[in-house]
Structures are given as C-alpha cells and as structure tokens.
Amino acid sequence: MSPWSLSAGMIGVMALDDEPDLIDELLEELVPPDLEARPKAEQVAVGTSLLHRLKESLANDPESLTRQMSRRQVSPELPQLIGEVVIAAAWAEDAGGTFLQATSGDWDTRARGYDDTSSRLVKALRDTAPKALVDRLEAALELRHFVVHGVWVNGSFVKHPGTGEPFDFVSMKRRYRTEAPEKDTKAFMKSALKWLAREFWEIEDELEKLHSEVLFGKGKAE
C-alpha cells in the first residue's frame, strides 16, 4: 500500500467497487421492454408477478430496498463541503499558475501550464517546484475530480475498513477518455472533505511562498 493510500484511509476516503443496484437489475431482467404496448390485463399480470419476484428477492435482505432509496438522500451539509473544496482548489491552482509565470521571467508570454488543465499544471510544476509539494497537489487534485465531477449519494451502505463506521458519502465519476464507458467510485467521510479543503489551502500557501521567493529573492524581507 502506498503512503498516499494509507493516509487517504486515515482521513476517510476509500475507493470501492460498485455494489449492484438491486432494483435496477431486477427491472432490467424482469420487465419486458414493450410492456406499455401490451394489453392492460397483461400489464397488470406482469406487474403482479414482478412484485412477487421482488418480495422473494428481498426476503434474505429486507433492508436492501431502504438502503437503495437512502442513497439519494444526501446530507444538506454536502453543498457547503463541496464548495469549500472547490474554492480552495481554485486558489491553489491559481497560485501554481502564477508561480510558473513568475519563474518563466517573461510576463508577456504565457508560461507552460499557466492556464492549462490540472494535469498539465502538475506536469509543468514538476520542473520548478519541490517534488513533495507537487505530489501533494497531484493527489489532492485527483480527489478534487471526484468532488467536482462525481454523482453524490448517501454512503451509509459502505463501512470504513479501519473503524467499521459507515461513510457519509459516495461519489461516482465517469472515467476520462477510456475505450469503453467506465467509472470510478470513492467513499468519503465529512472529515475527509474538510481535510481536503485545508490541504488545498496549505498547498496554496506554500506555492505563494515560492512565488514570493522568485519575485523578491529567497530570504529577502518583503
């Protein structure tokens, strides 16, 4: 396990495989695609049969239906938590781009990575900023992708491997530029989102210090 994977588990973030959606799978398997075009009597018969099959499927796991429905009941705190991460990440990226521009020594030509994608920003910073700091930024931006681009659901159906406590949220995002459609999923604690916002602010502060050193000279008083 990598140091980042270990720390991610400690702060309350975990990648996970998708749990099958019981209701969707049953509907896909049992409901004929032309059901609405069939006679009403047949529609009623199919519906009755479906309810019977659903009852049988839930017999061994009576809480599964409630669990499926609760996933969409996301905490009212989530928008604020997401917003704090987005704001802090934007400041960190801006600090990185400004630092790159300052190190180029040319304020009339856009520096490589100044206003590029986050991955290109990280790549450009690897030539100028400390490796440990860039590694932190890259890891934080990977989590930011789930925060910004993910579909959020209630995470109570996933348990933290270390504490056994249920996660607060699960985020699923589509994987970028794959041959076939794929998706990635991560479970988050509220504390993990708060930590991620703080991490971006700390990274932003370190990048601004580097920026100042370029402009005014290392160790020189402002």
* Whole-number pLDDT of residue 182: 75
Handedness of CA 205, 211, 217, 220 (dihedral sign): negative
Instruction: Indicate the residue type of 159.
Output: K
Q: In what order do the strands lie in the sheet with 169-174?
A: 13-15, 183-188, 169-174, 151-154
Residue 135 CA neighbour count, 13 Å, CB half:
7
SS3 sequence of 95-108: HHHHHHHHHHCCCC
Least Cα distance to 135 among 192, 208, 203, 87 occurs for: 203
Instruction: Indicate the residue type of 177.
Output: R
- Coil vs helix vs strand at 185: strand
- Coil vs helix vs strand at 219: coil
Tell me the DSSP string of 31-59: S-TTGGGS-HHHHHHHHHHHHHHHHHHHT
* Whole-number pLDDT of residue 195: 96
Task: Give the separation between CA 57 and CA 129, rounded to whole angstroms.
Answer: 56
* Whole-number pLDDT of residue 20: 47
* Whole-number pLDDT of residue 1: 44
Task: Give the separation between CA 137 and CA 148, rounded to whole angstroms.
Answer: 16
pTM: 0.68
* Whole-number pLDDT of residue 148: 93
* Whole-number pLDDT of residue 219: 39
Task: Give the separation between CA 203 and CA 83, rounded to whole angstroms.
Answer: 17
Q: CA triplet 149, 198, 89: central angle to 5 degrees?
A: 40
pLDDT, one tens digit for every residue, the chain (222 residues): 444 444 555 556 776 554 445 455 556 656 777 778 888 887 778 778 777 776 776 676 766 656 555 555 678 899 999 999 999 999 999 999 989 988 888 877 877 876 778 888 999 999 899 999 999 999 999 999 999 999 898 888 888 888 889 999 999 888 776 677 778 889 999 999 999 999 999 999 999 999 888 888 763 333
What are 184's two structure tokens? 């990635």
What are 48's two structure tokens? 């009755």
- Coil vs helix vs strand at 64: helix
